[in-house]
Amino acid sequence: MPGDDVLTWTATQLAEAVRQREIASRELLDLALDRIERINPKLNAVVTLDVERAAAEAAAADEVTAHGESTGPLHGLPMTVKDALETAGLRSTGGATELTDHVPVVDAPAVARLRAAGAIVFGKTNVPRWSGDLQTYNEIFGTTNNPWDLSRIPGGSSGGSAAAVATGLTSVELGTDIAGSVRIPAHCCGVFALKTTYGIVPQRGYLDRVGGGVSDTDINVLGPIARGADDLDLLLGVVAGPVDENAAGWRLDLPAPKSTNLADYRIGVWFDEPSVPLGAEVRAVARWTSDVLADAGARVEEAHPGVAFEEQVTLFKEALGAAASPGMDPAVGEVVAGSHLNWLHALDRRARLRREWADWFDGYDLLLCPVMPLEAFPHNQEGDFIERTIDIDGVDHPYHSLISWTGLIGIMGLPSAVPPIGSTATTGMPVGLQVVAPWYHDREAIVAAGLLADACAAGYRVPPLD
C-alpha cells in the first residue's frame, strides 16, 4: 500500500490515479481512516464516520475499475461532507443539539450528485451551531482547531471541512457559505475554496434550523473546499445545475474563462476601508500580491464599484439576520426578521447596488479584496456573536465586522474564489484573498485564483501537524 502522503495530493490527481489503477479506492479509504485515527484527535475536524458502507462502496468501485469502467468524474474518491448538509443514512446535525440523533432518509441534492459522480462519502465534518459563526464549535462535538496552530480557529462555519482538507483527512469537501463559510476557513487553513454564484448549486438539504432544508435560504450557497484550483472546477462541474423540478425548463451554461494568462486581465483591488481596516500583516500580504499581479503583466488598479461599503454591508447584515431568523428563538426571530415591507425595500436597494456592480464589471474582469481583516486568531468563545470584540493591531472592533468583506460579496450573489497566497510574517499563518468575478463567471474566478497562487509561489502547503 502507498504511503499516506498521497492524501495530500489534489482530488484531481487522486481521481486520475484511481482511474489509472495506480491506487485503489479501498486503499485510499483505509489510508484516510488511519490518518483520521492519528491526526483527528488533535483537530476534531471529522465528527461522524460511515466506515462499513464506505468500505463496501469503495470495494464496488474497485470492481468497476478492474473492468476498465468508471462511475463518473469522482469515481472511487473518498470524501467528507460538511455536517450542515443532509446525508442519507448518516447522522446530520447542523451542529445543533436538537438534531443530535437526526439521520436523514435522503441525501441533499448536491450530496446525491457527488455520489452519482462516483464519490464515496465516508464522513461528516464539524460546524458551529446552525453554521452561525466564523469559529467552529458546538455542544455535540466540541471545538475544531486550526492545523497550523491548534490554539487558533480554523474559521467557520465550514471549519471542519477546511481543517480536514488541509491535513489530508479527505480528498475534497463540500461546504456552505452564507457569510463567508467556505471563504473564511480557506483563508484560515491555507486551502482553496469557491463561493459559487447564488442559485447555481441546489442548497436543499441545508440544515440551518429544525425542519430546514426544504427551501432555499437567501444569500446562502454551496461550494467546494480543496487543495487545488482544478479541484474547485471538478466539483463545480458535478454539483452545479437546476434542482429536478426546474430541469425541464432551464439549463446551466457557465462561461469558460477568458484566458489562462494574468496579463490578459484587468483587475481592480479594494483593500482600504476605514470601517473595517486590515491588520498590518494581512495588509502587507495583500499589497505584495497586488505587486505580484502587476509584475505578471495584469492591469492592476485601485478601483472598485461605486458603492458605499458600509451601506452594502449593512444591507447584507439585515438580510443575513432575516435569513437566519427561522432558526432563532421565535421572539428574537420576529425582531431580527423585520417586516415584509422592509424586506421589499431591501430588495430594491439590492437591485440598485447590483446594477452598480454590473456596470463596473463592464470595464474590469475581476476584483481582488480581503477575506478577513486578520489571520486566524486564537479561540474566542466568550459571549456571543454580537457581544464579542476582536483586537486588530491594538484596537477593539466588533467581532461581527469580521464578516464584512465576505458579506460585501455575498449579498450580491457574486462568485468568489479564495486561493492561499502567502502567510503572515510574525505568526506564519496562511492568508487568502477573494478573487471576485461577474455573475456566473465562476470558472473565471477559479482559473484566476489558480494563476494568482502560482504567481505568488504559494498555493496549498501541508501543515506541520502529524
Catalytic residues: 82, 157, 181
In the numeric block, which cell numbers belong to residue 267? 483587475
The number of residues in the chain equals 466
In the numeric block, which cell numbers belong to residue 448? 484566476
- For residue 340, the tally of other CB atoms under 10 A from its CB is 8
- The dihedral of CA 218, 383, 180, 308: what is its sign? positive
Which residues 6+ apart lie within 8 Å of 1 measured at CB?
A: 27, 30, 31
The conformational region for residue 174 under phi > 0 = left, psi -120 to 50 = alpha, else beta, is beta
Give dist(CA 14, CA 340) in Å, integer.
49
Are 158 and 79 in contact by the 8 Å Cβ rule? The answer is: no
Are 153 and 206 in contact by the 8 Å Cβ rule? The answer is: no
Q: Which residues of 81-95 are buried (b: 16+ CB within 10 A; e: fewer)?
A: bbbbbbbbebbbbbb
Q: Which residues of 312-329 are buried (b: 16+ CB within 10 A; e: fewer)?
A: bbebbbbbbbbbbbbbbe
- For residue 215, the tally of other CB atoms under 10 A from its CB is 9
- For residue 303, the tally of other CB atoms under 10 A from its CB is 15
Give dist(CA 289, CA 292) in Å, integer.
5
Are 25 and 72 in contact by the 8 Å Cβ rule? The answer is: no
CA 193 centroid distance within chain: 5
DSSP 149: B
Strand 221-226 and strand 192-195: the pairing is antiparallel
